[in-house]
Amino acid sequence: HNKKIESHNPNKNTLSHTPIHHLILSYENIPAELAWEMNVPLPQCDMVKFESHGTGSVFKPFLEKLGIKVTQHLDENYCAKSAYCSFFNDLNQGARILAMRDYLSVIDDNAKKLYALIPSPQIICLNQVRDPISMLRHYMSIRRLGKAPRRFNLTFDKDFILTQLVEYSSAKNHIGSSYYPNLSATEDWLECRYICFHDTQLFRELVNINEKKVSFMDMSEIVGEKTLQTMANFAQLFNVPAPQASDKEFFLTRSHDFGCLLPLTLYVHQQDLEKFNTNDTDSLTKQGGITIHILKKFHLENKRDISAEILGNLAHDMVRIAIDKNDEARLKQNIPLYQRTKEYLQDFIPSLIEQDAKEKAKKLTEEDVLEHFKKDAQLRAKCKNIFDKHLELIKSHRPDIVASWKYYQEFEKLSITKPLDKD
């Protein structure tokens, strides 16, 4: 990346008196903060990707699995300058894709400057899309971390932990969090432009990118069997090796299984063998215990998988019991502690699996969302207005994708057949 840049807006105090047309800097030699102050365009990447939330965040780890580095600013980072600096540094360190799913302009006045400093990509600009009714359902059904402790010991009651690991909330600062998704949050999500339904608005601020350069990818392309062909296409586009047969399971496994239920940490300590108190936190602060990790199989990393010997036929394909290699011998030498740990986990893991099934059963359906709209004409009208603005870009270039959205088409019919009637 030994690219050269010319400043658009030098600060003469910091840059001596060199005439600007002679001032050439390399990206590697200029701090990101200074580049921002000087309005230096970001390094050109291979792909600029933009979308709303809820359109397939799994695509980022899929791309990274192919060896393609992605830079994406954190959702909780509401600062355009900070996003620029993060992009600037990552692009200089080999990131090939710049991804955006938050619409910063509704929070930070500097966002327009950020978007104007993103050059047209070398290969492709991609808008990742999804049926907006499915997006709404997703926002209201998404699991969030509940109040339960995620590190506990052998004295903890399993139901105390499992029933409080997941909660659901509205778009407004998790106000009204509960243990069930709620359709009353519909309006909050519709109004949350930072996160939702902002694709055309965001694209209009990417002033260096021509509309004709935009390709569209529906989320259905990265779900199920289609995923492998999609990723093979992107591998070819980026000139990297295609996905391996051994990676098939990674690409096809539903990433949200056990969402917010895992990972968990069981800290087993000698002193808890003598205890009968429920939820006694005392040993959690003591040295000398052993950490047992309960996690998804894709997150094992360097840990030892002891699921089979701990769980036997209670083992689950997705859930793993793991331990640091150094601790394994220590645990097995302490026969009473090892036995108690096995008993605890043989009771805990089936209940964890059951809890995941319970959370899945709580999910709202698109039909639930449409029924909600049938009852509220004003909300329907408001929603139609928001969708129309959000979808302007894709409607003008890929009406075929819009036509394939079953639930959105049903919503549109609803808006025609049930106009602002008196409910």
Side-by-side strand order, sheet with 264-268: 151-153, 264-268, 290-296, 319-323, 304-305
Residue 135: the pLDDT is 98
d(CA 83, CA 194): 14
Residue with tokens 């289609």: 226
Considering the domain architecture, whether residues 119 and 45 belong to the same structural domain is answered as: yes
pLDDT tens, residue by residue, 236-245: 999 999 999 8
Q: How far is CA 228 from CA 64, 300, 335, in A?
A: 14, 23, 46
The verdict on residue 40 lying in a domain is: yes
113 domain-assigned = yes
Same domain, residue pair 278 and 203: no
Neighbours of 338 (CB within 10 A): 17
Q: What residues contact residue 70 under an 8 Å CB cut-off, 6+ apart?
A: 49, 60, 63, 64, 95, 96, 97, 98, 99
Q: Decide if 21 is inside a domain.
A: yes
Q: Is the domain of 216 the same as that of 354?
A: no
* Domain stops at, among 362, 392, 408: 362
Alpha-carbon distance 323 to 268, whole Å?
A: 11
Whether 220 and 108 share a structural domain: yes
Residue where a domain terminates, one of 230, 252, 274: 252
Q: Does 80 share its domain with 202?
A: yes
Residue 70, SS3 per DSSP: strand
| Domain's final residue, options 252, 273, 290 | 252
pLDDT tier at 8, thresholds 50, 70, 90: very low
Residue 217 lies in a domain: yes
Name the range with the highest mean pLDDT among 2-6, 150-154, 300-304.
Answer: 150-154
| pLDDT digits 0-9 by tens, 34-88 | 999 999 999 999 999 999 999 999 999 999 999 999 999 888 889 999 999 999 9
Pairwise CA distance, residues 128 & 197, whole Å: 12
Claim to verify: residue 109 and residue 210 sit in the same structural domain: yes
Question: What is the domain count for the chain?
Answer: 4
Supply the DSSP string of 85-139, one letter for each residue: HHHHHHHHTT--EEEE-S-GGGT-TTHHHHHHT-PPPSSEEEEEE--HHHHHHHH
Residue 34 lies in a domain: yes
Indicate whether 106 and 204 sit together in one domain.
yes
* Whether 63 and 107 share a structural domain: yes
CATH number at residue 52: 3.40.50
The answer to the question of residue 387 being in a domain is yes
**What is the pairing mode between strands 319-323 and 24-26?**
unpaired
The H or E element that residue 290 is part of is strand 290-296
pLDDT tops 90 at residue 415: no
| Residue whose token pair is 């192919």 | 66
In a domain, 422, yes or no: no
- What average pLDDT does this structure show over 226-247? 95
Q: Looking at the domain assignment, is residue 177 inside a domain? A: no
The verdict on 347 and 322 lying in the same domain is yes
Mean pLDDT value of segment 220-234: 95
Burial class (CB in 10 A: 0-12, 13-18, 19+), 106: middle
Three-state DSSP class for residue 166: strand
Is residue 353 within a helix (H) or strand (E), and if so which, with residue range?
A: helix 335-362
Quote the domain boundaries for residue 228.
29-136+194-252
Same domain, 20 and 58: no
Average pLDDT rounded to a whole number, residues 81-108 = 97
Q: Verify that 338 and 271 share a domain, yes or no.
A: yes
Shortest CA distance to 398 belongs to which of 166, 46, 31, 126? 126
**pLDDT score at 321:** 98
* Confidence category of residue 172, pLDDT binned at 50, 70, 90: low
Going by pLDDT thresholds of 50, 70 and 90, the confidence category of residue 17 is very low
Q: Is residue 418 scored above 70 in pLDDT?
A: no
Q: Report pLDDT for 171.
A: 62
Give the model confidence (pLDDT) of 312-354 as tens digits: 999 898 999 999 999 999 999 999 999 999 999 999 999 999 9
74 and 57 within one domain: yes
CA angle 146, 224, 320 (to 5 degrees): 45
